[in-house]
Copies of this chain bind each other. A is one copy, B any other.
């Protein structure tokens, strides 16, 4: 199941960025499970990575490599996360980078590795290395749609977004893809996201831009509260458009940041819409908070409450569960008489209880929709935050009880 159409429109190629896809047979024979991004010389790359202490070996290696040398290739495999694999996992990630470096006459540090799939199994390095020549011979600027399919695991559909920004007679193209459906509560990044543009952007500025866009998108979604070991989100800039950003181009920087923000948000929402077993796409908006952290605490507590999520699945306006979740979110000295809760435009609770104007029919009508906003006002400040999530369905249990077995 998934919410919405999943259509993503035209994917513009990004000059300076080519993509090659191949089959390594990691988990299933014939499945396209290796995706290689090639960045033209002079490109910059920046990323944000999972903060899970048990982060995967490729995350550790990519974080080191991105600092050590200009990145020229991103090497992605699905079917195996190379996480929870100890020293051997690090050695295996290095072996993949070394193999691609040899084929491309680059330094190993110029390759960034990414893995996604089952945790705890040894990475089948030989299979991946054997598939690299096929990936390199497949290189094309027009492979974005195939790449979006190539990085899928339990996803039911590919996720992509493409925009163009006109700037002083030139066109900047921004195209990105993402994947992820379960183990989704990114902390500084998502499962996997790759966004490329053809502006020229210095690495420090690029890092600031990816951090900001990821914070407002991938870092505001949760499917099951389980932060992955492999989250990584990359932003690359090839410079091929001839438009160059710097600290002296604040207007251009702001315009492009806004496009990045939009592309990241579309990609992050696409992950939620394709959340494991999802039948609803739900925004939890918390306003009137005394601090950002308090707004986020309430938003995540409501978004991750199994009881709220099962009520959403049942289209049951069981608003008592929303109040109970707000009440346990750990907001100090919360005056419940100042809290109000809306489902879309329907006021359901105020003054510590059910709103006078509320009718079960009005609440039920909103809950039947595929897309719902739960709007909470804490009545104690000016801070506002939004988190996006899904419901909890039979299929969530089915997918996660059967995965791997």
Q: A residues bordering B, Cβ < 8 Å?
A: 51-55, 81, 83-89, 118-120, 182-183, 185, 187, 224-229, 304-307, 310-311, 313-314, 316, 318-321, 323-328, 331, 334, 336-337, 349, 351-354, 392-394, 396-398, 400-405
Query: Whole-angstrom distance from the CB of A314 to the nearest CB of chain B?
Result: 4
- Residues of B near A313 (CB, < 8 A) are 397, 401
Residue of B nearest to A324 (CB): B229
Query: Whole-angstrom distance from the CB of A219 to the nearest CB of chain B?
Result: 13
Contact B305 A225 (CB under 8 A): yes
Checking B318, B396, B400 against A311 with a beta-carbon cut-off of 8 angstroms, the contacting residue is B400
Known: A54-B336, A310-B397. 7 other contacts (CB 8 A): A54-B326, A85-B352, A120-B320, A120-B323, A226-B305, A226-B325, A393-B397
Query: Whole-angstrom distance from the CB of A297 to the nearest CB of chain B?
Result: 12
- Residues of B near A84 (CB, < 8 A) are 319-320, 323-324, 349, 352-354
Asked whether A85 and B354 contact (CB < 8 A) given A319-B120, A397-B393, the answer is yes
Query: Whole-angstrom distance from the CB of A301 to the nearest CB of chain B?
Result: 9
- Residues of B near A394 (CB, < 8 A) are 394, 397-398
Contact B405 A307 (CB under 8 A): no
- Residues of B near A400 (CB, < 8 A) are 306-307, 310-311, 314
Contact B321 A119 (CB under 8 A): yes
Asked whether A83 and B120 contact (CB < 8 A) given A313-B397, A314-B402, A400-B306, the answer is no
- Residues of B near A402 (CB, < 8 A) are 314
Contact B226 A320 (CB under 8 A): no
Asked whether A311 and B83 contact (CB < 8 A) given A226-B324, A319-B120, A327-B54, the answer is no
- Residues of B near A87 (CB, < 8 A) are 351-353
Number of copies of this chain in the oligomer?
2
Contact A318 B404 (CB under 8 A): yes
- Residues of B near A334 (CB, < 8 A) are 53
Contact B224 A306 (CB under 8 A): yes
Contact B353 A310 (CB under 8 A): no
- Residues of B near A225 (CB, < 8 A) are 304-306
Contact B324 A52 (CB under 8 A): yes
- Residues of B near A227 (CB, < 8 A) are 324, 327-328
Can you list 14 A-B contacts with CB-CB less than 8 angstroms, sorted by A residue number? A83-B320, A84-B323, A84-B349, A84-B352, A85-B354, A87-B353, A119-B320, A120-B320, A182-B307, A226-B306, A306-B400, A311-B401, A314-B402, A394-B397
Contact A88 B353 (CB under 8 A): yes
- Residues of B near A397 (CB, < 8 A) are 310, 313, 392-394, 396-397
A320 to B86, CA, bound (A): 12
Checking B81, B88, B310, B326 against A320 with a beta-carbon cut-off of 8 angstroms, the contacting residue is B81
A226 to B306, CA, bound (A): 7
A392 to B276, CA, bound (A): 15
- Residues of B near A318 (CB, < 8 A) are 119, 403-404
- Residues of B near A86 (CB, < 8 A) are 337, 351-354
A229 to B54, CA, bound (A): 35
A183 to B325, CA, bound (A): 10
Query: Whole-angstrom distance from the CB of A182 to the nearest CB of chain B?
Result: 7
- Residues of B near A404 (CB, < 8 A) are 316, 318
- Residues of B near A81 (CB, < 8 A) are 320
A84 to B401, CA, bound (A): 35
Contact A187 B120 (CB under 8 A): no
A84 to B84, CA, bound (A): 44
- Residues of B near A321 (CB, < 8 A) are 119, 183, 226
